[in-house]
Amino acid sequence: MDTDYDVIVAGGGLTGTIVAQAVSHYSNRNLSILSIDRNPENLPGRKSNPGWTCGDACSKEAVDFMTERIKVPWTSPEIEHDVKGVMAFSPDKETAIPFDGDGYMLNRQKLPEIQNARTKKMGVDFDFEINLTSLIYDGLQVIGVQGINNKTKQPYKKTAKVVVDATGVTSMLRNQLENSTKVEKKIDRRDLESTGRHIMYFDKGEEDLTEFDPDYCIIHLDQDIAPGGYGWVFPKADNKVNIGLGVEKSILDQRNQRLGKKDNVASLMEEYLQRNKAIKNAKLSQDPGDIHNNTGVFQVSVRRQNDCMVSGGYMLVGDSAWMPKPIDAGGIGPALIAGTIIGKNVVDAIQANDVTEKGLWQYNLDYIEEYGYKTAGLELFRRLVQTLTNEQISYGMKHFLGNLDVESISKGEHPDFSGLTKLGMIIRGAMNKTVASGLKYTSEQNQWLVEHYRNYPKEPEGFNEWNKSLHKTLDESFAKIATYSKN
């Protein structure tokens, strides 16, 4: 069948541009590629009206993964500031865990401008101001996208052999997908965090490296100020910061009830900013690279990636596939990895002349092998931490984390707590014994889950059985974790 393009990348955000570049790279520019986004050309990659709402932090390792493979370097001004890693502080601030290693603070408004210029040079076409509403099907195959041209108000239709959905967490294309029972369409509310942040200049207050550190992205675990999530203070310069927090709605409701308050994300952000003694007289940045992007609230998912990320002619990537890491909502790293990998999968499938579900299946396996094997275990870990009190988190971080655990956390792996609660180990307080047995439990479940993901079916035929067994374990684990909050 003749199509307008070989590949359509729906959504020209952070992930979409990497996908377009990767397809172009792996096909030696031999495939025709169209990137479609609802933003005007002068505001590319904007998530929603308030801007490119993000903490802006990503690891050097993930950027290198992409650059080494598809030969696209990220430099200044899209990289605004270098950091030595992320430092997560316990609620009592007595324990800090470093993770992710060297990294970058990005300018999310500049990044897509620069990325789009690079992508155009690679021969990719762009359509802006197109609001995509649905996919076009031919039997079991997706063969294109449709929507409305916001400028002309005319209907818009384009066809392709493969449509890659990079339209972000709210993807309408995924929500209404008609050609798969394997791809999950809707997300559980409890797997979404409501998050907000400001980008600000400030005067230096008290010297306190637990509140602002020009060399480290700081995370504050604190169930009072960021219930079910965390607060962050990420440096953009010695006197510039990306400061924000994320909450899980039902845990925020419980916290409000517990404290007799009526807070929401905006009021918590205000309190979080005001209580930071290292940051004084903070003002929203008016830099040209932040002007449309200095404050905003948006959602981010914190679960494993979609159980199946392909159907006939259709693939999911980035936030639309729920790729952000379940424990810290970092979505840029997985987007860099998946955006790179998918380029090769798309090219292989088109060259093999098989863009059916089966022909695209290898993408599921390649992503799991590189990154996705660990996310279900981290989802359990996140659910457990969300049930804990500030005292339990502080105690657990102080007493249960050995060097090896810190090392696994720094690599984004679930730590192995299977030795916890062994005979002779002194754990003070019943509440802390609950933490220990919870951590031991999620470790054990994690081992099973990693193994299960290593056995992800090689062909679509094996999926239903694999998925049934995944959900049986997850349902049991979620129920068990819920019992820890009652102890």
Ligand X SMILES: Cc1cc2nc3c(=O)[nH]c(=O)nc-3n(C[C@H](O)[C@H](O)[C@H](O)COP(=O)(O)OP(=O)(O)OC[C@H]3O[C@@H](n4cnc5c(N)ncnc54)[C@H](O)[C@@H]3O)c2cc1C
Binding range to ligand X, per CB under 6 A, among 247-255, 317-325, 384-392, 424-432: 317-325
Q: How far is the CB of 218 from ligand X (least distance, A)?
A: 12
The alpha carbon torsion through 11, 14, 20, 22 (nearest 10 deg) reads: -150
- Of 104, 298, 417, 463, the one binding ligand X by CB under 6 A: 298
Distance in angstroms (rounded) separating the CA atoms of residues 468 and 267 = 42
Binds ligand X (CB under 6 A): choice among 25, 34, 45, 445: 45
Q: For residue 450, what are its two tokens? A: 């990693």
Among 231, 318, 377, 460, binds ligand X (CB under 6 A): 318
Query: Does 372 engage in binding with ligand X (CB under 6 A)?
Result: no
Residue 313 in contact with ligand X, rule: CB under 6 A: no
Tell whether residue 236 is a contact of ligand X (CB under 6 A): no
Site map 152..191 versus ligand X, x via CB under 6 A: --------------xxx---x-------------------
Per rule CB under 6 A, is residue 337 in the interface with ligand X? Answer: no
| Residue 427 CB contacts under 8 Å (≥ 6 apart), including other chains | 399, 421, 433, 436
User: First-to-last CA distance in the chain?
Assistant: 61
Single out the residue of 34, 57, 225, 278 in contact with ligand X (rule: CB under 6 A). Answer: 57
144 near ligand X (CB under 6 A): no
CB 55 within 8 A of CB 233: no
Binding mask 104-143 for ligand X (x = CB under 6 A): --------------------------xxx-----------
DSSP 8-state secondary structure symbol assigned to residue 202: E
Q: Which residue lies nearer to ligand X by CB, 329 or 393? A: 329
Options 25-33, 49-57, 420-428, 442-450: segment touching ligand X (CB under 6 A): 49-57
Q: Minimum distance from CB of 74 to ligand X (Å)?
A: 13
**In the set 7, 8, 47, 278, which binds ligand X (CB under 6 A)?**
47
In whole angstroms, what is the distance from residue 220 CA to residue 422 CA? 30
Name the β-bridge partners of 52: none
The two tokens of residue 52 are 């490119």
Q: Please give the Cα distance from 117 to 128 (Å, whole number).
A: 14
CB-based contact 405:442 (threshold 8 Å): no
Q: Which helix (H) or strand (E) holds 381?
A: helix 375-387
Q: Cis before residue 155, ω within 30 degrees of 0?
A: no
What phi-psi label fits residue 211: left (phi over 0), alpha (psi between -120 and 50 degrees) or beta? alpha
User: Applying CB under 6 A, which part among 20-28, 50-58, 457-465, 477-485 lies near ligand X?
Assistant: 50-58
In the complex, the residues that contact ligand X under the rule CB under 6 A are 11-16, 36-39, 45-47, 53-58, 130-132, 166-168, 172, 195, 197, 244, 298, 300, 318-319, 324, 329-333, 335
